[in-house]
Amino acid sequence: MMFGTEVFSVFWWYSQKLHGLTCSSDHRHESCIFDELSIWELYLGMHVRLHFTWLTLMILWRFGRFMSLADGVDCPENMLGCVTFFYTFEAFWRIWHASMNRFMLRYLYVPVGGKKRSWLAVPMVFGFVAYWHESTGFLTRPAWYAWGFLNAFGVTAEKALATTVGRQLAKGEADGNWFACILVFLGKGVGPIFLILVNVPAIFYENSWKFYVSFFNRGWETAVLLWTLVLTFSCTAVLVDAFREEETSPRRAPLTSARSVPDELAELELQSSESWHGR
């Protein structure tokens, strides 16, 4: 327990260091802490910062829902799962702020056109959410609109790929095509990387561009990191899918249950057992 608390405290301090001491510039000097970190430290800081935000909001929303339930009001639950176990844009935003997701679907996404006009409805939803996050006035935090644009592009591209390439790959995977199986496997690992990178503007705001430049300007180090993350997230996604499939599948009766054993065989086993103990 103490070790876990210590590790979490170090990660929290490290993420706060990245968040608060990112870059400083004036007319004579410009420095950026991103350039002082290795590519692995840079990604770890972003990854931990995103999960720290998830944990913080989950605690706040859980406490708020607890108070509402104590008052007799059953409000929708937020943070329906850990962000690590959702590797698509649609699934990620469905569980992140579930109550607001339902609100946006009912009062903005569907009235604008829904699935028939997703190319228009999705950007409008994220544009409104970006405006909603601004607490100091319209366009005072342009990074939120960059965040909205990147996420809207990710959701739209994901929907388009799912209805075209995704169906063909799913069919090939069902037919046992090894090439399709490999692409599906790797695709599950690419999703979380995009999800983390498109949310950089919500963490570093105006310094997000410097983060991107520092992250992708490392040559082979960036390539090694990305391939490692793809394989790691792909394996994690396969395990999560297997676990969910096991949870949703009907439980099978034990092979030695009384219903699955004929009466003659059960009687024979009983006689054999009695004769064995008689020895």
Tell whether 273 is covered by a domain. Answer: no
Let me know if residue 252 belongs to a domain.
no
Whether pLDDT at 124 is above 50: yes
How many angstroms separate the CA atoms of 45 and 42, rounded?
A: 5
At 194, list the tokens: 């995009």
Cα(41)–Cα(214) distance, integer angstroms: 12
167 inside domain: yes
**Which range of residues forms the domain containing residue 65?**
2-243
The torsion region of residue 26 among left (phi > 0), alpha (psi -120 to 50) and beta comes to beta
Element (H, E) at 69: helix 39-70
| pLDDT at residue 109 is higher than 90 | yes
Q: What percent of the chain has pLDDT over 90?
A: 18
CA distance 23 to 77: 37
- Distance CA(203)–CA(84), nearest Å, equals 17
Region of 72 (left: φ > 0; alpha: ψ -120 to 50; beta: rest) is left
Contacts 24+ apart (CB under 8 A), 7-12: 11/48, 11/52, 12/48, 12/52
Side-chain half-sphere CA neighbours of 41 within 13 A: 11
- Supply the pLDDT for residue 168: 86
Phi, psi of 200 (to 5 degrees): -60, -45
Quick one: pLDDT at residue 14?
54
Range 106-120 average pLDDT = 90
- Beta-sheet pairing, 23-25 with 30-32: antiparallel
Q: Is the pLDDT of residue 256 over 60?
A: no
Give the per-residue pLDDT at 90: 87
Answer yes or no: is 254 within a domain.
no
Q: Which two tokens stand for residue 196?
A: 């983390």
In this predicted structure, the answer to whether residue 12 has a pLDDT above a threshold of 70 is no
Question: Which has the minimum average pLDDT: 118-127, 197-206, 221-230?
Answer: 197-206
Looking at the domain assignment, is residue 183 inside a domain?
A: yes
28-54 average pLDDT score = 76
The answer to whether the beta carbons of residues 72 and 100 sit under 8 Å apart is: no
Determine contact, residues 53/96, Cβ cutoff 8 Å. no
Answer yes or no: is 258 within a domain.
Answer: no
Of 90, 94, 87, 95, which Cα lies nearest the Cα of 187?
A: 87
Residue 150 has pLDDT above 90, yes or no: yes
Q: Note whether residue 255 is domain-resident.
A: no
- Answer whether 229's CB lies under 8 Å from 193's CB: yes
Domain count, the chain: 1
DSSP 232-268: HHHHHHHHHHHHHHHHHSPPPPPTT-TTTS-HHHHHH
CA dist list (Å): 78 to 57, 63, 87, 108: 9, 11, 18, 19
Q: Is 55 domain-assigned?
A: yes
pLDDT number for residue 4:
52
pLDDT beyond 80 at 6: no
